[in-house]
């Protein structure tokens, strides 16, 4: 059986690569991509079998670009995981904490470690494209006064040393990742859990009560909505598409009936996938 090729945004050691292995297993080929757009294109061009996209962080909120790319690409959701994000201060092996003057990482990671940086005012924070990429950079440049904020995977991959562990402001820092594939393509994924979700997107007329009536079909069938997200519709100012996550499978009788009822009220309804949710 051919090894699954999984694309992700970032470099080796990125949190997305860890999420890819949790979702698709360790026996996969991971393909690093510089941007989210390139990651989706990798699947559409058949350079990868699927991709892992961060869609929401418990502190920073939704990653809006990936909501838009998911709809534009037509990729379907095949799995979900929630990854605990632990930020570590990482430096070359001979660098001590008091040597560090420059700290590099992704802007979101830096923003999630403000208390540590405020307590170490001799350190200057600088944003780069990727957490793991920051570790690779300081190792390649053999910096004796620099560190990076990244995962322990990145430290191990690039031969760096962790100077301080768990420096994030809030320990309840999780990122939700989606495994996305093309069409009806079957992937030999690890056994699914018993916890399933269904995601869909719909559009309704811009008139009073339309959203209330649309959401009411799920209340009528006592379906648990786990998230609702609105995104602007391109070319239609002040009109929105609504993304819903709900507990259960689209094939379940009451969910299928609710979606059918929604279709009678909405302009468009698209099921983005029914998939196992894995912690």
Q: List the catalytic residues.
A: 175, 177
State whether the Cα torsion 249-4-36-135 is positive or negative.
Answer: positive
Contact 153/128 with Cβ under 8 angstroms? no
Write b or e for each residue in 172-209: b if 16 or more Cβ atoms lie within 10 A of its Cβ, otherwise e: ebbbbbbbbbbeeeeeebeeeeeebbbbbbbbbeeeee
Query: What are the residues whose beta carbons fall under 8 Å from the beta carbon of 157, sequence distance 6 or more?
Result: 12, 13, 132, 135
* DSSP-assigned beta bridge partners for residue 85: none
What's 97's DSSP letter?
Answer: G
Alpha helices (H) in 146-238, listed in sequence order: 152-158, 210-220
Element (H, E) at 232: strand 225-233
């Amino acid at each position: 059986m051919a090894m699954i090729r999984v694309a992700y945004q970032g470099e080796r050691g990125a949190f997305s690569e860890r999420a890819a292995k949790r979702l698709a297993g360790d026996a996969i080929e991971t393909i690093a991509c510089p941007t989210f757009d390139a990651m989706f294109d990798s699947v559409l061009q058949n350079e990868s079998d699927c991709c892992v996209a961060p869609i929401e962080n418990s502190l920073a909120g939704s990653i809006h670009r990936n909501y838009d790319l998911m709809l534009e690409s037509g990729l379907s959701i095949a799995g979900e995981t929630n990854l605990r994000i632990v930020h570590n201060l990482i430096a070359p092996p001979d660098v001590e904490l008091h040597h560090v003057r420059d700290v590099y990482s992704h802007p979101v990671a830096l923003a999630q470690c403000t208390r540590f940086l405020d307590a170490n005012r001799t350190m200057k924070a600088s944003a780069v494209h990727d957490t793991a990429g920051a570790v690779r950079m300081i190792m390649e440049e053999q910096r004796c006064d620099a560190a990076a904020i990244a995962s322990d995977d990145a430290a191990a991959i690039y031969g760096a040393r962790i100077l301080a562990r768990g420096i994030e402001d809030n320990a309840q820092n999780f990122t939700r990742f989606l495994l996305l594939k093309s069409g009806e393509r079957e992937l030999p994924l690890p056994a699914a859990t018993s916890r399933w979700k269904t995601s869909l997107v719909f559009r309704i007329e811009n008139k009073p009560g339309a959203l209330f009536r649309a959401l009411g079909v799920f209340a009528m069938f006592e379906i648990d909505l786990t998230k609702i997200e609105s995104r602007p519709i391109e070319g239609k100012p002040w009109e929105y598409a609504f993304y819903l996550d709900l507990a259960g499978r689209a094939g379940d009788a009451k969910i299928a009936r609710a979606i059918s009822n929604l279709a009678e009220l909405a302009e468009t309804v698209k099921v983005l996938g029914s998939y196992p949710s894995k912690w």
